[in-house]
Chain A
Amino acid sequence: MSESGTPAVEFRGVGKTFTAGGAEHVALREIDLRIERGEILGVIGYSGAGKSTLVRLINALEKPTTGTVEISGTPITGVPESEVRRLRRDIGMIFQQFNLFRSRTVAGNVEYPLKVARRPRAERKARVAELLRFVGLSDKARSYPDQLSGGQKQRVGIARALATSPSLLLADEATSALDPETTGEVLELLRKVNRELGVTIVVITHEMDVIRAVADRVAVLAEGRIVELASTFDIFAAPRSAPARRFVDSVLHNRPAETELRRLDELHRGRLVTVEVDDRNRVGAALTTAARAGVHFEIVYGGVGTLQDKTFGSLTLALDGPEAAVDAVIAEFEGRRGTAPGHPAPTNRPEGA
């Protein structure tokens, strides 16, 4: 991900309002967003948050009501339709329902964008063969979409989207219609597209697992606004907005919810403390100190793993001992946190709850 240079996509003050039967529906408001070259940006939100509209503004399937959208520095808004069509050849798109052409074979589907781009026949044939090899479907060239499984259909969709060697790929809920195993295969393929071909990818999803698996950065969309934009690690480690926290909680079960916290408090002696665990915050050392100071501790809730190759997790501890010693342990946890900027307020204290 390069921070300098022209971004792959840039939204400037973009708003989109739909009008149906006299009623206005604001789908997106004041979107300012830079999608950097070579990154995988995840866009997560609940249904109706405006995700699909956002992604369709990138290839101008929808036109913004206000603001501008630029693709590699070239505006795709406010330009003639012929220019829009030319720009679209540099943007591939895959869909939740695959949207394959049922009247064409697998090879015919992949070839279609090349025909639209007026590539010569010999070049088209070679490119189709190359793409089918890349997605592992060489033996299905003559099959029709109806004869394929969901995962195979999406791989055809990916091959078709990559036909004209675009620098940008839009994935609109591309795995939402697939089972978990197939989802993994398709996400692995998207990572391969990003790594080996250097394609910038925008992944629209409502599943935090998809974000965790592929995204470098995440934009959280709620009620038509980007309420949070951060690296995937930071979103998981320290979500700042309420929607982001709900998404993180939906897949991470390492923090007790309010009711569970109350139950834990009844079950265990001492004070409950939730500690974030990452590469800079090693809980073990702090607990050794605690034990020496006469504080008994019990791990009552939590989980630790890795995310984007970094240690990541959360532990809830019951600390029992002299008031001052417990205070000192908590202060130590908070002190360590101080050495990890960008992860604010990880400790919750349910005393009196």
Chain B
Amino acid sequence: MDTDWDKLRPVLTESVGTTVYMVLATFVAGGLIGLFLGTALYTTRKGGLLANAPIHWLLNVAVNIVRPIPFIILLAALGPVTLEVVGTTIGTEAAIFVMIVAASFGIARIVEQNLVTVDPGVIEAARAVGAGPLRIILTLLIPEALGPLILGYTFVIIAIVDMSAMAGTVGGGGLGNFALVYGYQRFDWEVTLVAVLIIIAGVQVVQFVGNWLARRVLRR
């Protein structure tokens, strides 16, 4: 079967744009919310800077409920909430909302795990000079864990690309949607391959930049 690339090219270009938009929007919003949730998880644990057992328990349970749900099911399960917040359950914006929810909780765990690796002695040293919890979190805790955090966030971007592909099923658009509609459903293996190659190339670039940044921060 001959693929008519002249017709497909504008669709492909638009799909790439949509994917980049979905991934970036999710990464920025989910990244910030995840950073907040993860830091809260870490600091509210027993012996933490803001030790608070009830809040820690609540956050922990929330993360454990959201994280294991397969994304494609979360898309459907969050339907009523998405409708309330975005006004619709289909399209790019609706998909982004669900992606942000999934990414936030996923990132929360990654952030928490990386903060745990910070030497508690460093935090004690900061407390000993009279620094308050907020200052310690912002000026020490996060900078000390920055290298591994960058690697964790790089991993997350790739997971978000994965999610964005599934968003195609609710009319989210993007490369995933393109591969499904113009490739898989039309039995056009070439189109699927092109979509896959573009995704692979994008992921490579992201991983490369992430590694480079982490190396710079870790000075290795």
Which A residues form the contact surface with B (CB < 8 A)? 59, 61, 81, 85-89, 91-93, 95, 97, 99-104, 112-113, 115-117, 144, 146, 160, 163-164, 170
A115 to B131: give the CA distance in the assembly, Å.
9
Contact B129 A164, beta carbon cutoff 8 Å: yes
Number of interface residues of B (CB under 8 A): 20
Whole-angstrom distance between the Cβ of A199 and the nearest chain B Cβ:
15
Contact A116 B144, beta carbon cutoff 8 Å: no
Which of B122, B143, B146, B219 is A99 in contact with, Cβ under 8 Å?
B122
**Residue in chain B with minimal CB distance to A103:** B143
What is the interface of chain B mostly: helix, strand, loop, or mixed?
Answer: helix
Which residues of chain B in 92-149 are interfacial with respect to chain A, using CB atoms and an 8 Å cutoff? 119, 121-122, 124-132, 135, 139-140, 143-144, 146
- 17 CB contacts below 8 A, A to B, read A61-B128, A85-B131, A85-B132, A88-B127, A88-B128, A91-B128, A93-B129, A99-B119, A99-B121, A99-B125, A100-B122, A101-B126, A101-B140, A112-B129, A116-B129, A146-B219, A160-B125
Residues of A with C-beta under 8 A to B127:
61, 88
Residues of B with C-beta under 8 A to A95:
121, 124-125
Contact B119 A89, beta carbon cutoff 8 Å: no
Contact A113 B219, beta carbon cutoff 8 Å: no
Contact B144 A103, beta carbon cutoff 8 Å: yes
Residues of B with C-beta under 8 A to A88:
127-130
Whole-angstrom distance between the Cβ of A278 and the nearest chain B Cβ:
40
**Residue in chain A with minimal CB distance to B146:** A103
Whole-angstrom distance between the Cβ of B147 and the nearest chain A Cβ:
9
Excluding A99-B122, A117-B130, 5 further A-B contacts by CB distance (< 8 Å) are A85-B131, A101-B122, A112-B129, A113-B129, A164-B129
**Residue in chain A with minimal CB distance to B133:** A81
Instruction: Indicate with 1 or 0, residue by residue over B65-77, a CB within 8 angstroms of chain A CB atoms.
Output: 0000000000000
Contact A59 B144, beta carbon cutoff 8 Å: no
Contact A97 B121, beta carbon cutoff 8 Å: yes
A170 to B122: give the CA distance in the assembly, Å.
16
Residues of B with C-beta under 8 A to A91:
128
Which of B124, B130, B131, B144 is A102 in contact with, Cβ under 8 Å?
B144
Q: A99-B122, A103-B144 are in contact. Are A116 and B128 (CB under 8 A)?
A: no
Residues of B with C-beta under 8 A to A99:
119, 121-122, 124-125
Whole-angstrom distance between the Cβ of A72 and the nearest chain B Cβ:
16
Residues of B with C-beta under 8 A to A160:
125, 129
Which of A85, A101, A170 is B130 in contact with, Cβ under 8 Å?
A85
**Residue in chain A with minimal CB distance to B129:** A113
Contact A113 B130, beta carbon cutoff 8 Å: yes
Whole-angstrom distance between the Cβ of A22 and the nearest chain B Cβ:
14
**Residue in chain A with minimal CB distance to B132:** A85
Whole-angstrom distance between the Cβ of A104 and the nearest chain B Cβ:
8
Whole-angstrom distance between the Cβ of B16 and the nearest chain A Cβ:
36
Q: A101-B140, A103-B143, A144-B219 are in contact. Are A59 and B122 (CB under 8 A)?
A: no
